[in-house]
Structure 1
Amino acid sequence: MDHKTGDKKKAQEEERVRRLSSDLHCEILDLSAGDNIPEGCKRTKKIKTTYPPRVSVETPVTRPVDAAEFMNAASQGKVNVIDVYLADGGNPNAQDELKRTALHRASLEGHTAVVQMLLEKGADINLKDQLGSRAIHCACRGGSLGVVKALKSHGADLNVRDKLYSTPLHVATRTGHTTIVEYLLSCGAKMNSRDREGDTALHDAVRLNRYKIVKLLIAAGADTKIKNHCDYRRE
């Protein structure tokens, strides 16, 4: 009886060792990422279902569009709404309570296609908002190189000033848009223009720790000796 029990235990132990060896063999094969894995070792894997990215399709607009909706569409880049408004004879130069036009709004938000459409439909590139900013100021604040280039190609003045005497270069520098600064400099924008405080773009870049822009301005020949009004008051 004891002999039979011993044989049974021995058989169970051998079977356990065989299973462990088999499992270990399968794990090694899995880790080595081999293609010829024995059928018995293959594990069932869940197949992930992938879906194509959702494409945003603008719904055709079949109703009249008023000026307020037109202005909001410019901020949101809704070309279809703007197209209906302009096709119905809407004023491309309509202004909001801050005297911003749709061109101001689209330029700030970086909607190049909207900016192109507005310019082609008669939007005035030189209209000022309440602070004296033109669309080019808004584009430099928003940081879209595409919009800046579109405005430039339609004759935007790269040295125009707002009520604080800030140029587009001042605005791009303060908002830290290095690519815009580089483009303005390549187009010959005046780098030593001073705002109402006497600050040049270089003053702004140094004050705001815009290290890359400081390097760009100095490399382009910005005058490092110009004093602002604060410097004069210290003397």
Structure 2
Amino acid sequence: MFLCFVMCSLNLVLLLLCRYYISKGAVVDQLGGDLNSTPLHWAIRQGHLPMVTLLLKCGADPSLTDGAGFSSIHLAVLFQHIPIVAYLISKGQNVDTADFSGLRPLMLSAQQVVGPEPTSFLLKFNPSLNAVDNVQKNTALHWAVTSGNVSAVELLLEAGANMDIKTVKGETALDLAIQTQNCFVIYMLMEEGRMRSKRNNRLLRIMEKYELFLLLASCLTVLWAIGYVMNLSSDSWLLKGCLLLFLLVGMALSVRQSVGVKNLRYLPTALMLSSVFWMSVTWFFWFMPDVTNAIVEIPVMFSLVGRLYFFYKAWRTDPGYIMSSEKDKKENIAALAEAGCLDFRTFCTSCLVRKPLRSVHRVPCDSCVARCDQHSLWIAQCIGVGNYHYYLLFLSSLTVTSVWLLYRSLLCMYQ
């Protein structure tokens, strides 16, 4: 606690001294030191955001370069000071600013920064993925491959970086990966190339359009097949076990080939909906005809209808996504930084918004959700302030139906 107080006091003293010197006529953009840097460059190297905001307010030029040819945004990326990167961009610094050799911040992050944070943050501002430097004609992907930065390679491929651009020596990213003998990067590039060529196939494009329908149809078929196998008259459990294993392996292979990674998250939802469908079929064709008192079945009927309705409402209703325009994001970043409140424990670096109380950034939906409870695998949707009541009603109706069908199944088995 005492150390924090001392640090805060020291920072305040430094800010007051800087303000005093400027008021006495000190040159804000004076170059000096071994690295021939301006005061803004030195503040960025130290990660001193309050000092950076003060210098910019006093007219410091963030586009000036130091002795190594780096501008302000290059240094912020190199030293991984993400709040300063955010503030510089919010104040108008171009995310594609090039140094004397044409090296851009994204290239610098891919080449020299280990870890996904600076690269993923820069990609939020739509930098040029296919720009090349002036010397080797490398893109950011080339730099990531040559440096063995696996996380940067993955992020750039997800963002759609061109794999066919050649360097000054005529080498693609895959050629460079083979030269460096990085087996994991080679696999990533070859797999991405295979997926991109797959998208050019007309038949595969049609299949991709109906991936969710194919996934649901596959789950319906597999669950029917499992029931059929279990109902075989054969007493050989070894045979049934082998057939079930064959079904599961066949489904895994077919899903892997026909469903992309993006839609694979809907697999639990498809399995749940398939189970609901067969439960409804069982109730309607096997249990309903044997009912002597129709009044008893009315709650089950309502739960069957309510289950589908509440599922749809929970799935389609906005759970409470925190939305903001590009202009508002930059204004918020600048305002928070200048007020000394740009704390990344409460500010989301993915959505570029300040997170309200009890909000959480959910990776599957890539959004911050207000009063977030969870990301439900069964409806492939986040559960938050907007749809949690629908989700609870869905679970309640599903529980009523499941308990009643289990009871009726046990009656049929032991009668």
Q: TM-score range by the shorter chain?
A: 0.5 to 0.7
Q: Which amino acid aligns with 2:102?
A: G
Cα deviation digits, residues 150-171 of structure 1 (max 9, x gap): 2222221111100121000001
SS of the residue corresponding to residue 171 of structure 2 reads coil
- Could you say which residue in structure 2 is the equivalent of 1:106? 76
State the distance in 2 between where 1:166 and 1:117 align: 28
Q: CA deviation at 1:143?
A: 3.2
- What is the aligned length? 172
How far, CA to CA, are the matches of 2:114 and 2:45 in structure 1? Answer: 15
Q: Distance in 2 between matches of 1:76 and 1:137?
A: 22
User: Which amino acid in the other structure matches residue 150 of structure 1?
Assistant: F
TM-score by length of 2: 0.39
Q: Does residue 128 of the first structure (1) align with residue 103 of the second (2)?
A: no
Q: Which residue in 2 is equivalent to 1:155?
A: 126
Give the secondary-structure state (helix, strand or coil) at the position aligned to 2:97.
Answer: coil
Residue equivalent to 2:145: 173
- Contiguous gaps of at least 5 residues in structure 1: 1-51, 223-235
2-side partners of 1:144 and 1:76: how far apart? Answer: 20
For the pair 1:74 / 2:15, whether they are aligned, the reply is no
Deviation at 1:187, TM superposition (A): 0.8
Specify the SS of the correspondent of 1:220. helix
Equivalent position of 1:12 in the other structure: none
Q: Give the alignment of 1:141-220 within 5 angstroms.
A: 141=111, 142-163=113-134, 164-220=136-192
Overall identity of the aligned pairs, in % = 24
TM-score, structure 1 as length reference: 0.66
CA distance, structure 2, for counterparts of residue 167 and residue 69 of structure 1: 31
Higher Cα Rg, which structure: 1
- The one-letter code sitting in structure 1 at the alignment partner of 2:66 is D
Q: Name the CA shift for 1:81/1:125 in 2 (closer, same or farther; >3 Å).
A: same
Q: Which runs of 5+ in 2 are unaligned?
A: 23-27, 30-37, 195-415
Q: 1:143 to 1:165 in 2, by over 3 A?
A: same
CA–CA distance in 2 between the matches of 1:174 and 1:74? 27
Amino acid at match of 1:155: N
**Deviation per residue, 1:83-103 (Å, 9 max, x gap):** 111121211212223432110
Q: Give the helix-richer structure, 1 or 2.
A: 2
Give the counterpart letter for 2:119 in structure 1.
V
Instruction: Indicate the SS of the match to 2:103.
Output: coil
CA RMSD of aligned residues (A): 2.4
Question: Cα distance, 1:126 vs. partner?
Answer: 2.4
Query: Whole-Å Cα distance in 1 between the matches of residues 140 and 117 of structure 2?
Result: 15
Write the letter of the residue equivalent to 2:179. Answer: R
Displacement of 1:183 in angstroms is: 0.7
Q: Which runs of 4+ in 1 moved over 6 A?
A: none
| Separation (CA, whole Å) in 2 of partners of 1:203 and 1:76 | 38
